């Protein structure tokens, strides 16, 4: 399946592809386009738009698109609930939602600065989310 969002990825637009590729669709293809082209490209390509206003996989109230992906696909992997809080804090105005949220936002900005394009940023940054999930699982196991 193709997933379409705005180019110049940052927190949620990296976290969602990571989540989808790891737990929903290992063959997912991600398309990054101008903001005003997301819906038309998604329709033309038969893809699913995400992280733009008014779509199913977008922000809802205090929750971000990462939360929407978890809900839509019924993901219950251990640690994802804690990781969702970190991502939500980093991607919304709730920067202090978790102690890790501001750090994730800074890391995302750094990868945005060194990545040549959105696909490279995903490739470089996916291990950060793998590590965060491992951290969240260990925190959950510790109590």
Give the pLDDT of residue 116.
Answer: 96
pLDDT score recorded for residue 140: 82
Mean pLDDT in consecutive groups of 10 residues from the start of the chain, 143 residues: 97 98 98 98 98 97 98 97 98 97 97 97 98 95 79
Judge contact between 66 and 91, C-beta under 8 A.
yes
pLDDT of residue 142: 84
pTM: 0.96
Q: Residues 118, 8: contact at Cβ < 8 Å? A: yes
> For residue 49, which phi and psi values (nearest 5 degrees)?
-75, 145
Place of tokens 């969002």: 5
**DSSP-derived secondary structure letter, 64:** -
Nearest C-alpha neighbor of 132 from the set 3, 14, 4, 1? 14
Please, where are the H alpha helices in the chain? 12-23, 38-45, 65-72, 80-91, 101-114, 118-142
Residue that is written with structure tokens 């291990």 in the block: 127
Buried b / exposed e across 101-129, counting CB within 10 Å, b at 16+? Answer: beebbebbeebbeebeebeebbeebbebb
């Amino acid at each position: 399946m193709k997933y379409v969002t705005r180019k110049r990825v940052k927190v949620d637009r990296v976290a969602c592809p990571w989540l989808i590729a790891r737990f929903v669709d290992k063959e997912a293809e991600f398309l990054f386009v101008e903001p005003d082209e997301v819906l038309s490209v998604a329709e033309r390509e038969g893809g699913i738009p995400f992280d733009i206003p008014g779509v199913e996989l977008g922000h809802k109230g205090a929750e971000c698109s990462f939360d929407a992906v978890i809900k839509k696909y019924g993901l219950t992997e251990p640690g994802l609930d804690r990781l969702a809080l970190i991502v939500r804090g980093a991607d919304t105005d709730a920067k202090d939602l978790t102690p890790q949220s501001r750090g994730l936002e800074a890391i995302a900005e750094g990868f945005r600065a060194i990545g040549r394009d959105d696909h490279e940023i995903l490739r470089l940054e996916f291990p950060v989310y793998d590590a965060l999930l491992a951290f969240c699982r260990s925190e959950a196991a510790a109590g």
